[in-house]
Amino acid sequence: MSRAQEPCRHVLQGHTSKMPDDNSCLFHALCHLLDPTKTAAELREIVAVAVKSDAIRWNIGTLGKDPWEYVLFITDPKRWGGEVELAILSEHYRCELAVTEVQSGRMVHRLCL
């Protein structure tokens, strides 16, 4: 058996925690893991400040909408977070984030060094 065919020997172990079902589940989960003293609204504000402070990086091409419109969008607690938020928060907390979307199995991975 070649090395590429060997079964994976590294098993990640973890636990599940129920998050509020209020369209802010990504932010609640990140608070739970990274900074339990913060709220989902505070993480949304970290994202908003990052977008406002770097208009070159966080532009319409990256965000899919005007940065000021995006700030209004992401600070609305009814809106979902996604890859942009993972990128900003992984840099803010200087950590690697990997998120699996349960229904599709799609994984989003962000690494900040």
pTM here is 0.79
CA–CA dist 79, 107 (Å, integer): 20
Question: 100 versus 49: which is more confidently predicted?
Answer: 49
CB 106, CB 91: distance < 8 Å: no
**Is 76 a domain residue?**
yes
Cβ contact 74:15 at 8 Å:
no
Q: What is the pLDDT of residues 7-45, one digit of tens each?
A: 444 445 666 788 888 999 999 999 998 999 999 999 999
In-domain check, residue 54 = yes
For residue 12, tell me if it sits in a domain: no
- Tally the domains of the chain: 1
Q: Which residues contact 63 (CB under 8 A, 6 or more apart)?
A: 51, 70, 84
| Assigned domain for 85 exists | yes
Domain contains 9: no
Instruction: Write the pLDDT tens digit of every residue in 62-107.
Output: 999 999 999 999 999 999 998 999 999 999 999 888 877 767 766 6
Helices (H), 7-75: 25-34, 40-53, 60-63, 67-74
